[in-house]
Amino acid sequence: MEDSGSALEKNVADLTVMDVYDIAAVVGQEFERIIDQYGCEALSRLMPKVVRVLEILEVMVSRNNISPETEELRLELDKLRLERIDRLEKEKKHRKVCHLTSNQLMCTVIFTLLCTSVALFTQFICCTFYLITLIRSLLSAKASSLIQWNAKWSSKKFSQNRL
C-alpha cells in the first residue's frame, strides 16, 4: 500500500481505483481509533454512509481512468451495437416488404390466372356456339339436300314406274 497521504493529496482527476482503496484503508484506521476510544455506537450511523461514498468514488474513478485503448474499444463496441440494431431494423423492414411483395405477386398471379381462365372459358363458349351453329347449318343443309335428293329420287322413281 502506498502512502495514504499521497492519495488524499492527489488531484481528483488523477485518482486511481487503488488510490480509493488506500483512502478507504486510512478512513478504516481512523474509524478503529474512534471505536477504541468511544465505542461502536459513535460511528454506527456514519459508517454505512462513508462506505457508500467510497463505493461511489470507486465507480467514478474507474470510469474516469479508462485507458485510451479501453475507451476506443468501448466506443467501437457502442458503434457495433448501433450498427447491429440498425441492421436488425433494416432486416425487419426487408422481411415485411418481401412478405407484402410476395402477397401482392401472389394476388397478381391469381388475378391473371382468373382473367385468363375467364377469357379461355369465353372463347370455349363462343367456339361451342359456333360449332353448334355450324352443325345446325350442316344438318339443315344436309336435310335440304336430302329432301331435294329424295324429291329427285322420288320423282325419278315415279317417272320410271309410269313407264
DSSP secondary structure string for all residues of the chain: ---HHHHHHS-GGG--HHHHHHHHHHHHHHHHHHHHHH-GGGTTTHHHHHHHHHHHHHHHHHHHT--HHHHHHHHHHHHHHHHHHHHHHHHHHHHHHHHHHHHHHHHHHHHHHHHHHHHHHHHHHHHHHHHHHHHHHHHHHHHHHHHHHHHHHHHHHHHHHH-
pLDDT recorded at residue 74: 77
Report yes or no on 80 lying in a domain. no
pTM: 0.40
Domain count, the chain: 1
Report yes or no on 36 lying in a domain. yes
Report yes or no on 84 lying in a domain. no
Tens digit of pLDDT at every position of the chain (163 positions): 445 558 888 888 788 888 999 999 999 999 999 999 988 888 889 999 999 999 988 888 887 766 677 777 778 888 888 988 988 888 888 887 777 777 788 888 888 888 888 888 888 888 888 788 777 777 777 667 767 777 776 666 656 665 5
CATH number, residue 1: 1.20.58.1770
Report yes or no on 128 lying in a domain. no
Structural domain range at position 39? 1-65
What CA dihedral angle connects 78, 67, 63 and 87, to 10 degrees? 0
Report yes or no on 24 lying in a domain. yes
pLDDT recorded at residue 2: 47
Report yes or no on 34 lying in a domain. yes
Report yes or no on 103 lying in a domain. no
What CA dihedral angle connects 99, 100, 101 and 106, to 10 degrees? 90
Report yes or no on 30 lying in a domain. yes
